[in-house]
Amino acid sequence: MKFLPRTVFILVLFLPNADASDYDFFMRKGLETLYLQEAERYVACRQSTRGECSFSEVEGFLRLLALYSPDERIAPIYPKQAQQSGYNAVVVAELTVNDDGTVQDLETLSCESGLGDHHLKLNWRLNGKYCGRFSLAAERAFQQYKFREFPPELLGVPRRIQWRAMFTLTGQTSDDINKQVTDLKSSQVRKIQEFSKANDWTALEAYALNHLDEQKVFRYFAADSAWRLGKKTEAIDHFTHFVKDGGSSYWHFGAKAAAVTISHYYEVENDQEVANVGRASMLEAYLDRGNVVTKAAISDALWRYASSLTLIEQPEIAKAFIILTGIKRHELQHGGIPKNVMEMVNQQISNIESQIIVIGRSKVEQPKNT
């Protein structure tokens, strides 16, 4: 059983008895302390010449503090040419927010565009068609956003928000995301169905391997065939490659591949690879919306992913906590989560909460001049 390591925080092994108001107060103080720590680290990274800087924990702690989403926002104006051509897009920008919640500055980080569902982004392109127009429209809208004023305790570190503008045409995004979409030719689909119905996994594996350069989804069929043939090493390699190479665009296939690989890497205690696969997956969305891979399999993969996030070299505590509380919320609203999974989820939530409260208590009780 894996728990949040003691080395992540300044810890004690247990908390004194506290009532609900103490819990809320120290929990918030702990979240504020951790947010400031992550915000300072992120700003320092952005100001340095180092490579990619992860925003995940800054966003996570702001979400847990209910300070992430804008109170006032407007929808961007859809670029006319893109609309006429049926193109959708997702634009991500980093906003620098003033103390009063207005947007001081912004930088567009990415734009992806293409046809079809904006969640799956099947065959979309980074900096794709009309991205210049999409980015300009998003920037104009972002400049008018208004966020909640920061409490005094959080002032002093530049406030950054990364926000997504989604451009989606009616009819271009399927209301039924569970319709499995592929980019295969009808002749290729028939061939795959023929091998599958005959349980001829050797033939399907060979067929998929011969077509790996054509569509990404062939990597999934190579992995699934190898798995059924008992070739675990080859299957895990293919599943991992598939997920990291955008396999989640294939929804059900991506969910199965992620669930299988996360379980494997967790069992061999490769927490970093669990985290890598989890980040590339859409398992959180699939838990709420997917209907082919079982809730048991998805929730089992998610709690393992959350656990590994607390154990990697640069822990992602906020992300882990959000995943775990999301599983708990799903169980309360919809059910379907196995009892043993919920026991692990509740235990890990309790562990993380306790340690955040320790941090909050320590912050409140430390001398004012330290």
Residue pLDDT, tens place only, 298-346: 999 999 999 999 999 999 999 999 999 999 999 999 999 999 999 999 9
Per-residue pLDDT at 7:
40
Per-residue pLDDT at 15:
46
Non-local CB neighbours of 68 within 8 Å, separated by 6+ positions: 59, 62, 161
Residues 220-237 have a mean pLDDT of 97
Share of the chain above pLDDT 70, in %: 90
| Torsion angle defined by CA atoms of residues 110, 116, 118 and 124, in that order, rounded to the nearest 10 degrees | -30
Q: What are phi and psi of 328, to 5 degrees?
A: -65, -40
pTM above 0.75, yes or no: yes
Of 170, 159, 88, the residue nearest 130 (C-alpha): 88
Kindly list the structural domains of the chain, giving each domain's residue range(s) and its CATH number in brackets, ordered by start.
80-167 (3.30.2420)
Residue pLDDT, tens place only, 257-270: 999 999 999 999 99
Residue pLDDT, tens place only, 109-121: 999 999 988 888 9
Per-residue pLDDT at 156:
83
